[in-house]
């Protein structure tokens, strides 16, 4: 954590230059720039600025955005709901669907089903995510009018109508890479000695896959899923922008573009903490999936 | 065999069952989605507006970008405003009862306020009822603009121009002054009278008072909400944010008609041709016409265009990618017949701006060699740039002043306009024939694809005469820093008018405004400075325009800018929108717009 705070601090306070010039505007005089630098606390010695930054992290008080002057905690609180509403449904459904299809492909490995799935996945992956968004939004929302083109309603009952099409796109986007990676993991397990032993004991192929291969494949699968969890928050910038969803991804990108360091620093720390939490969670889950793994 | 077949049949049945469930779920989703299509209300007067970027805050002192200013202008008002229809732009009273009375020396300006103006109802006031506006509210609001702790980007409108204001700012920095410390230049003899005393003649004062920075706010509300005032705006304008939740950050802002509004009627006089365009049909009728304004923030062109085509926004600018599908090839002033059939019409309004490539005059090579700068200007093919990158939506700039601004001369032609042969000659005269002996220059621009393409085009133009240029793509803050710290050598940028006075453009060449001030090229010319200072002391008129013309000639001759274009805005407007007249310098335009709900209910379902 210390490394992360130091890295982000050096990156934004030393490498990326002076944001007071940007916030002063094009009419500002040198005096006004100096005044803004002082207001932003950028005229203080670097070690003092770093201590202040660490204090903010410890107290979870990240102050206000330089750009919008909002409380950062409020900004994050407002944006996290739309982002999770957007990402959780396709994330869960994609896991279930992709593992199922990967099992199916592995079960029928080498057959036309397997080859068909692999080729389809490769074809899906070869298209840019922007193309999916542009084409599906144009076809389903604009041409057919089945979904709203874009928009957002903060109420829990009103928001879903705006999420159906983004969900379908996110789900489609994840199919190619995920099915292939889950299939590879399952295939890897399918040639292990314990599988041969299970078959020698007379277990049917289906039972071998359901009881043994899938269970053992869950360890790398859990790792893959957990690694993907931070993308629940940041991985949907394009979708948010095209569908007008006020989420965290767009907020982070805007903050980066505007050199809004307090927001970027807060998000970097929060995401790092989230990443560490999810890694810990995956370690705990290993023990649940495979009782041989014990935490010591 | 039979058993196997039976098992297969069961499996198949289960498979179909699952497939059916999946299909049902998908069907239900599609049904829910399609059932969301609402019937168009034939009594709804709401105006739906799309913004291309997010609104940052609803506080006049933060009105430093077009999108925030657009919303701020509906909630807050200033002493003066622009006449909606007249061109050239003309100021008229806003919260002032009449245009101000100026003293003979031009240093004292007395404003009388309209009587009975009330702030919007808000919990900040006693009993939640908006109180009456007084002249002290303006003084309070302008102190906020100058307050060093609030660091407003708009302080430049008063900086150094108001008697005692800069002294107050210095005293505030050291804690020796408060908001109650008198400022000589802002006097309030009574609640209805406001006297502004200047340190020097400032003929742009009335223009800056029409800017959103100079809008009036009530002290009670600022003190109640503190730093959250920008989320809880309270003004005197025709529309109001009823509750904070009506603003969904980065998504949508809903404003309602202000029942306390002072009232105003639609203008009865416009410019020539307005009557024929139907812009005077509502003359004399009380405004605003809409009960609600909905601002939707959408940063991407594609969904913005699709929403416009479906009638979800009343108007929008035509994105570059959709220009060919919207405008006919034969006549760029006409839209495709299918769009006309849908009731859409085209509005073409020149922007009051100029795009250019700035040359850092502190550069040891470029800054010291006028012939070299001439060569660069002569090699810059502005017309092709306009055709290729703006779909022809622009006119080649001949100087720094755009059409619509005082002293603009349409007959003036830049003597250094595109001519490759002359460019080569100028380069030879500069001592660098064929580019020999010149180092590779660096062009700074933005990192988006459009800016990069324009940068590439510039390098091609320069390569045609043997000058090598490399591109440095930046984010906006990095770009600003490169310019403001004098690191940029050549940079592609634009300037849009804050107000329609050429001084707003000529300040960009005044030597006392060197970076980080607005003179980004660090241009220094004693003759220009003398003319600029003399022009500041003159009221608008022929004498001042004569000085402006001399200043233009110096700028063109010295060449700190390579002029590119004055852009032209192309907007599509739906048939149900009345009184649409685009204005580049005023943002308080939605009180004038009227939607015909019946017509909308007929036309929109067909889109």
Which chain A residues are within 8 Å of B158, Cβ to Cβ? Answer: none
Instruction: Find the mean pLDDT for residues B41-65.
Output: 93
Residue B198 has pLDDT above 50, yes or no: yes
pLDDT band at B3; cut points 50, 70, 90:
very low
The string of pLDDT tens digits covering residues B408-439 is: 999 999 999 999 999 999 999 999 999 999 99
Look-up of token digits 């041709």: B273
Alpha helices in B310-402 (DSSP H): 323-326, 337-341, 370-379, 382-389
A256 contacts on B by Cβ (under 8 Å): 475
Residue A294 three-state SS: coil
Of B36, B151, B298, the CB nearest to A148: B36
Helix or strand holding residue A91 (H, E)? helix A72-107
**Are B590 and B266 within 8 A, CB to CB?**
no
B151 interface with A at CB cutoff 8 Å:
yes
Nearest to B359 by CA among B377, B343, B344, B341: B377
Question: How far is it, in rounded angstroms, from Cα B284 to Cα B265?
Answer: 5
CB contact burial B542-551 (16+ within 10 A = b; e otherwise): eebbebbbbb
Q: Tokens 């107050």 correspond to what residue?
A: B168
- Indicate the pLDDT class of residue B39, thresholds 50, 70 and 90: confident
| Cα B586 from Cα B210, distance rounded (Å) | 8
Q: How sure is the predictor about B384, in pLDDT bands with cuts at 50, 70 and 90?
A: very high
How many angstroms away from the CA of A214 is the closest CA of chain B? Answer: 21
d(CA A203, CA A211): 10
Which of A245, A265, A234 shows the shortest CA–CA distance to B54? A245
**Which three-class secondary structure state does DSSP give residue A255?**
helix
Backbone angles phi, psi at B547, to 5 degrees: -65, -40
- Strands (E) located in B384-476: 394-396, 441-446, 469-474
Per-residue pLDDT reduced to its tens digit, B476-524: 888 988 999 999 999 999 999 999 999 999 999 999 999 988 999 999 9
Tokens of B139: 């003084």
Mean pLDDT of the region B81-102 = 96
Chain A residues inside the 8 Å CB shell of B62: 69
Say yes or no to pLDDT of B21 above 70: no
Predicted-assembly ipTM surpassing the 0.90 threshold: no
Cα–Cα dist A241/A105, whole Å = 35
Locate tokens 């639609």: which residue?
B266
pLDDT score recorded for residue B18: 56
**A246 contact residues in B (CB cutoff 8 A):** 248-251
Structure-model confidence comparison of residues B94 and B22, the more confident one? B94
Q: Is residue B357 within 8 Å of residue B564, measured between CB atoms?
A: yes
Q: What is the DSSP letter of B327?
A: B
Q: Is B575 helix (H, G, I), strand (E, B) or coil?
A: coil
User: Which residues between 92 and 121 in chain B have a beta carbon less than 8 angstroms from any beta carbon of chain A?
Assistant: none
Whether the Cβ atoms of residue B389 and residue B445 lie closer than 8 Å to each other: no
**What residues contact residue A111 under an 8 Å CB cut-off, 6+ apart?**
none
Residue B142 CB coordination number (10 Å): 28
Q: Is the pLDDT of residue B561 over 90?
A: yes
Please tell me chain B's helix, strand, coil percentages from 3-state DSSP, rounded to the nearest 5.
35, 20, 45
Residue A72: Cβ within 10 Å count = 24
What was the pLDDT predicted at B5? Answer: 37
Residue B496 CB neighbour total at 10 angstroms = 15
Computed over every residue of chain B, the mean pLDDT equals 92
pLDDT value of residue A95: 93
B40-65 average pLDDT score: 93
DSSP letters spanning B463-477: HTTT--EEEEEE-HH
- Say how far apart CA A150 and CA A244 lie, in whole Å: 6
Instruction: Reply yes or no on whether the pLDDT at B397 is more than 90.
Output: yes
Distance CA B364, CA B366 (A): 6
**B149 contacts A39? CB cut-off 8 A:** yes
Give the CA distances from residue B91 to residues A201, B493, B544, in Å, rounded to whole numbers and listed in that order: 94, 29, 19
Note the pLDDT of residue B23: 54
Residue B237 has pLDDT above 80, yes or no: yes
Token pair of A187, please? 């295939």
Tell me what pLDDT residue B7 has: 43
Q: Please report, for residues A112, B91, B215, B606, the alpha-carbon distance to residue B267 in angstroms, rounded to integers and kept in the order given.
A: 74, 13, 22, 33
Whether B161 and B146 have beta carbons less than 8 Å apart is answered as: no
Which two structure tokens, joined as six digits, stand for B348? 């073409």
DSSP state of B153: T
Q: What is the DSSP string of B500-558?
A: S-THHHHGGG-GGGBTTSSBTT----HHHHHHHHHHHTS-SSHHHHHHHHHHHHHHHHH
Q: Is a pLDDT exceeding 60 seen at residue B37?
A: no
Query: CB-based burial of residue B138 (10 Å sphere; 0-12 exposed, 13-18 middle, 19+ buried)?
Result: buried
Nearest to B556 by CA among B411, B441, B401, B404: B401
Question: What are the two backbone dihedrals, phi and then psi, of residue B47, each rounded to the nearest 5 degrees?
Answer: -105, 125
What mean pLDDT do residues B549-555 have? 97
Rounded to two decimals, what is the model's pTM?
0.89
Q: Is B269 helix (H, G, I), strand (E, B) or coil?
A: coil
> Chains A, B: CB contacts under 8 A, how many?
148
Do residue B151 and residue A23 have CB atoms under 8 angstroms apart? yes
B9: pLDDT strictly greater than 50:
no
Distance CA A136, CA B315 (A): 24
Tens-place pLDDT, residues B126-162: 999 999 999 999 999 999 999 999 989 999 999 999 9
Q: pLDDT band at B14, cuts 50/70/90?
A: low
Q: Which residue of B has its CA nearest to A41?
A: B149
**Residues with pLDDT less than 50, chain A:** none
- In angstroms, the separation between the Cα of residue B560 and the nearest Cα of chain A is 17
- CB of B226 within 8 Å of a chain A CB? The answer is no
CA distance B147 to B169: 6
Q: What pLDDT, in 10s, does the model give residues A123-160?
A: 999 999 999 999 999 999 999 999 999 999 999 999 99
CB contact under 8 A, B33 and A30: no
pLDDT, residue A133, reads 95
pLDDT at A204: 86
Work out the minimum CA distance from B541 to partner chain A, whole angstroms.
Answer: 25
Q: Which of A40-49, B169-178, B468-477 has the lowest mean pLDDT?
A: A40-49
pLDDT tens for each residue of B353-368: 999 999 999 999 999 9
Say what percent of chain B tops pLDDT 90. Answer: 87
> Which residues between 481 and 540 in chain B have a beta carbon less than 8 angstroms from any beta carbon of chain A?
481, 484-485, 513, 516-518, 520
Across the interface, of B34, B151, B476, the residue whose CB is closest to A39 is B151
Q: Is the Cβ–Cβ distance between B491 and B479 less than 8 Å?
A: yes
Task: Tell which residue, B192, B232, B293, has the closest CA to residue B588.
Answer: B293
Distance CA A205, CA B573 (A): 65
Q: What is the pLDDT of residue B340?
A: 95
Q: Burial of A292 by CB count in 10 Å (0-12 exposed, 13-18 middle, 19+ buried)?
A: exposed
CB atoms under 10 Å from CB of B35, counted, come to 9
């Amino acid at each position: 954590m210390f490394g992360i705070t130091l890295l982000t601090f050096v990156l934004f306070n030393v490498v990326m230059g002076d944001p007071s010039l940007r916030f002063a505007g094009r009419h500002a005089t040198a005096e006004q720039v100096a005044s803004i630098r002082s207001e932003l606390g950028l005229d203080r010695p670097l070690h003092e600025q770093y201590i202040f930054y660490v204090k903010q992290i410890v107290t979870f008080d990240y102050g206000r955005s330089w750009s919008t002057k909002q409380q950062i905690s409020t900004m994050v609180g407002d944006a996290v709901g739309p982002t999770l509403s957007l990402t959780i449904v396709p994330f869960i459904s994609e896991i279930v669907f992709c593992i199922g299809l990967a099992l199916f492909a592995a079960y029928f490995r080498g057959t036309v089903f397997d080859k068909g799935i692999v080729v389809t996945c490769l074809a899906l992956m070869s298209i840019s995510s922007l193309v999916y968004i542009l084409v599906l939004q144009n076809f389903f929302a604009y041409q057919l009018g089945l979904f709203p083109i874009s928009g957002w309603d903060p109420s829990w009952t009103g928001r879903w109508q705006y999420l159906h099409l983004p969900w379908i796109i996110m789900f489609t986007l994840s199919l190619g890479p995920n099915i292939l990676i889950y299939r590879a993991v399952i295939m890897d397990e399918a040639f292990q000695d314990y599988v041969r032993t299970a078959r020698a004991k007379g277990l049917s192929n289906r039972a071998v896959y359901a009881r043994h291969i899938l269970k053992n494949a869950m360890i790398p699968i859990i790792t893959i899923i957990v690694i993907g969890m931070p993308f629940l928050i940041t991985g949907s910038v394009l979708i948010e922008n095209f569908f007008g969803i006020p989420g965290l991804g767009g907020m982070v990108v805007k903050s980066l573009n505007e050199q809004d360091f307090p927001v970027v620093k807060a998000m970097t720390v929060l995401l790092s903490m989230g990443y560490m939490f999810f890694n810990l969670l995956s370690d705990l889950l290993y023990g649940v999936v495979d009782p041989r793994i014990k935490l010591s | 065999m039979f058993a196997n077949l039976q098992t297969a049949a069961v499996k198949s049945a289960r498979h179909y069952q699952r497939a059916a469930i999946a299909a049902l779920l998908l069907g239900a989703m599609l049904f829910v989605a399609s059932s969301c299509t609402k019937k168009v209300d034939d009594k709804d007067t709401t105006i739906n507006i799309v913004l291309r970027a997010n609104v940052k805050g609803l506080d006049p002192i933060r009105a430093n970008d077009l999108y925030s200013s657009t919303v701020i202008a509906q909630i807050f008002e200033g002493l003066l405003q622009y006449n909606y229809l007249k061109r050239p732009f003309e100021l008229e009273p806003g919260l002032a009862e009449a245009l101000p009375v100026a003293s003979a020396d031009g240093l004292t300006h007395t404003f009388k306020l309209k009587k009975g103006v009330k702030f919007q109802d808000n919990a900040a006031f006693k009993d939640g009822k908006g109180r009456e506006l007084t002249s002290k509210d303006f003084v309070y609001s302008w102190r906020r603009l100058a307050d060093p702790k609030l660091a407003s980007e708009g302080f430049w409108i008063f900086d150094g121009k108001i008697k005692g204001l800069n002294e107050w700012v210095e005293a505030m920095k050291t804690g020796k002054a408060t908001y109650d410390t008198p400022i000589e230049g802002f006097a309030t003899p009574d609640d209805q009278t406001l006297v502004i005393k200047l340190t020097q003649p400032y003929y742009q004062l009335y223009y800056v008072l029409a800017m959103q920075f100079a809008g009036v706010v009530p002290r009670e509300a600022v003190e109640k909400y503190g730093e959250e005032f920008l989320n809880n705006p309270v003004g005197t304008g025709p529309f109001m944010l009823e509750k904070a939740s009506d603003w969904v950050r980065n998504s949508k802002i809903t404003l309602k008609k202000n029942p306390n509004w002072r009232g105003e009627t639609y203008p009865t006089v416009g410019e020539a041709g307005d009557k024929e365009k139907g812009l005077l049909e509502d003359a004399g009728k009380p405004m605003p016409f809409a009960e609600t304004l909905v601002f939707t923030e959408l940063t991407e062109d594609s969904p913005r265009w699709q929403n416009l085509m479906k009638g979800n926004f009343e108007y929008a600018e035509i994105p570059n990618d959709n220009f060919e599908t919207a405008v006919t090839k034969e006549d760029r002033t006409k839209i495709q017949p299918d769009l006309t059939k849908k009731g859409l019409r085209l509005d073409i309004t020149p922007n009051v701006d100029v795009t250019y490539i700035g040359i850092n005059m502190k550069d040891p090579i470029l800054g010291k060699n006028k012939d070299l700068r001439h060569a660069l200007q002569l090699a810059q093919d502005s017309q092709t740039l306009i055709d290729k990158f703006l779909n022809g939506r622009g006119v080649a700039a001949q100087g720094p002043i755009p059409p619509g601004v005082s002293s603009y001369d349409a007959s003036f032609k830049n003597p250094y306009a595109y001519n490759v042969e002359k460019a080569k000659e100028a380069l030879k005269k500069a001592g660098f024939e064929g580019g020999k002996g010149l180092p590779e220059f660096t062009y700074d621009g933005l990192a988006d694809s459009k800016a990069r393409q324009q940068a590439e085009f510039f390098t091609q133009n320069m390569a045609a005469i043997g000058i090598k240029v490399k591109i440095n793509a930046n984010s906006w803050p990095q770009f600003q820093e490169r310019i403001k710290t004098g690191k940029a050598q050549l940079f592609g940028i634009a300037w849009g008018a804050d107000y329609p006075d050429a001084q707003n453009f000529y300040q960009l060449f005044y030597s006392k405004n060197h970076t980080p001030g607005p003179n980004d090229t660090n241009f220094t010319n004693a003759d220009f400075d003398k003319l600029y200072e003399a022009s500041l002391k003159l009221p608008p008129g022929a004498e001042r325009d004569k000085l402006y013309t001399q200043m233009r000639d110096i700028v063109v001759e010295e060449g700190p800018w390579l002029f590119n274009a004055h852009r032209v805005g192309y907007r599509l407007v739906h048939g149900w929108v009345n009184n649409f007249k685009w204005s580049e310098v005023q943002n308080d335009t939605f009180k004038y717009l009227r939607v015909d709900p019946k017509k909308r209910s007929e036309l929109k379902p067909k889109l």
